[in-house]
Structure 1
Amino acid sequence: MSIQEGFRNERIVVVPRPLVTAALARPVTRRLAVTVAGCFPAAAGHRMQRPRGIDETIVIVCASGMGWARVGETTHRIGSQSALIIPRGVPHTYGADADNPWTIWWCHLSGTDVAELVETLEVSVERPIVPIRRMERAVALLDEIVSTLERGQAPAWLIGTAGAAWKLLTQINVDRVMPADGDPLERAMSYLADRLDSSVRVPELAKLVGVSPSHLSALFRKVTGGGVLAYHQSLRMARARTLLDSSPATVAKIADELGYADPLYFSRQFSRFHGMSPTQFRRRDAV
């Protein structure tokens, strides 16, 4: 059901409640279902107030302009390149800035996995705003959701929108934790990616990017789940897999290319990382 009235060139699609109820009882969409989605371009005068919240999670992506939101007891300013995430049941009021009204893409989500997906974003009533680094991808995913629902709300369409919404939330999460261009972590990652043929000392790398060794290690643990050297090893092992799959080079030659002077040590490291030797890895599809 599309709604044509309201802001100029707006798009809104509402999934009828009986279809939502049915979707939340089916596989896949019981975990995540889009119930409403739309776009409000340059939405001057836009304002929404829900003193008791709603029984769905709200995702609003601000593509341009400015807006504001009062979530719980705190008022927040919302600029472009950011998203407002309001968990279910949280009282809220939001609207467009009077002088520079926002353009927003938005959707409402329901399902058993929504709360867990939102939790990974580390949003809360006190901190409901998250950055969007790749706005074009977020808008493309929301446009896909709206366009799909405009075509219909049959079970297959709703599965498609669930997939796009899942990708949207996970992409926002990636944008939140991954470093921006020029950030010390980004520079360190690029440095490591360019030096797969040698080992790296953490103090020297930290000095190069302008942070302490402990801070650099903490940054890597937050984003990758491991330390600097573990990340570097994962890159070297990924390169080893590529070479084993795509070239006839011997294990000794591959070890040398990756900066391992001792092929046996390389093989032990590879086996520890992959659970099989380089030779076994190369032959895994021959059986």
Structure 2
Amino acid sequence: MPARDGLRPQRLYAVPRRQVTAALTAPVTRRLVVTDAGYSPASARFSVAPTDGARRTVVVICAGGSGWADVGGTRHRIGAGAALVIPAGTPHAYGASPSSPWTVWWCHLRGSDVPELVEALGSPVVPIRHLDRAVALADEIVGRLARDDDAPGRLVGVSGTAWKLLTQLIADRAAAPPPDDPLERAMDYLVSRLDGTVRVPELAALVGVSPSHLTTLFRRATGAGVHAYQTTLRMERARLLLTTTESTVSEIARDVGYGDPFHFSRQFRQLHAMSPTEFRSTTPR
């Protein structure tokens, strides 16, 4: 999402090194421990200079805008709805796109089970099929670390949340069809056009199948048609904007493709049994 006034401020939390050292020898956390985590809105233009990667695995969740990453000598583009996962010890650098800087949650991980979890992902860039869930988990990691205390269960809870985040990414990766699959291409196109109108015949022609076949593919994969899937994506993005920005309901409606904010509010209420304003007021931030 483009930089705008009202985004929550950048946050950064680091676990004291003595606590990390202790956690790496303790039950549960020795398998996975979060050493650092943060949130960077588009306005912060979050980036990391070239580094050898040290002993920490890096996980970045891109919720809006776009960025780039050089991982082991290969350049990758990271867009909204994708995760960047860099194994420990891998030379890397990454940063926000100058024209559309990303909004990201990130964390650094260590522990005996982390390499196996990362290996299961198979690629540094992983598509996220349920962005709101991934963002909620990443934000929970940051929020838990923000509690500046030495409670014994603090790092255990953070580790559990990080485990959920990684296993969700693994599940998303396993469920994703091949990149040349017409369903995947159609889904990717809808993600990129949340703010526009998409006609089923045009989308079908774009991915090389008939409109009826495309509708069948969507119903098999999602249980609903193309437009229902696009509405799900729009509402997913709307929930994210309601909980991570101070944008007005009218601004969010435009961002997710609704020219009429009243129509957007009615659609939101039908799906969530509350208005966008009520959702914002009842959701922890």
**TM-score range for the pair, normalised by the shorter chain length:** 0.5 to 0.7
Measure the CA separation in 2 of the matches of 1:209 and 1:119. Answer: 35
Measure the CA separation in 2 of the matches of 1:61 and 1:132. Answer: 9
Measure the CA separation in 2 of the matches of 1:102 and 1:77. Answer: 11
Query: 1:158 matched to which residue of 2?
Result: 155
- The amino acid that maps onto 1:112 is S
Distance 1:137 1:122, change over 3 A: same
Distance 1:14 1:153, change over 3 A: farther
In terms of mean alpha carbon deviation, does 142-151 or 94-103 score higher?
142-151
- The amino acid that maps onto 1:90 is T
Q: 1:206-245: per-residue Cα shift (whole Å, max 9, x none)?
A: xx979xxxxxxxxxxxxxxxxxxxxxxxxxxxxxxxxxxx
Q: 1:163-205: per-residue Cα shift (whole Å, max 9, x none)?
A: 000000000111112257x949xxxxxxxxxxxxxxxxxxxxx
Q: Secondary structure at 2:42's aligned position in 1?
A: coil
TM-score norm. by structure 1 comes to 0.58
Conserved 8 A contact 2:45-2:102: no
Cα RMSD (Å): 2.4
Measure the CA separation in 1 of the matches of 2:43 and 2:58. Answer: 17
1:11 and 2:11 aligned: yes
Measure the CA separation in 2 of the matches of 1:12 and 1:74. Answer: 27
Query: 1:84 matched to which residue of 2?
Result: 84
Measure the CA separation in 1 of the matches of 2:57 and 2:130. Answer: 22
170, 175, 200: which one aligns with 1:178: 175
1:14-163 alignment, distance < 5 Å: 14-123=14-123, 128-151=124-147, 152-163=149-160
TM-score norm. by structure 2 comes to 0.58
Runs of 4+ in 1 over 2 A off after TM superposition: 43-47, 152-155
Conserved 8 A contact 2:10-2:44: no
Aligned length: 177
Q: Secondary structure at 2:60's aligned position in 1?
A: strand
Higher RCO structure, 1 or 2 (CA under 8 Å, sep 6+): 2
Conserved 8 A contact 1:33-1:111: yes
Q: Secondary structure at 1:77's aligned position in 2?
A: strand
Unpaired runs of 5+ residues, structure 2, are: 1-6, 185-211, 215-285
Measure the CA separation in 2 of the matches of 1:62 and 1:87. Answer: 17
Aligned residues with identical type, % of pairs: 54
Measure the CA separation in 2 of the matches of 1:45 and 1:64. Answer: 12
Conserved 8 A contact 1:121-1:172: yes
Conserved 8 A contact 1:44-1:96: no
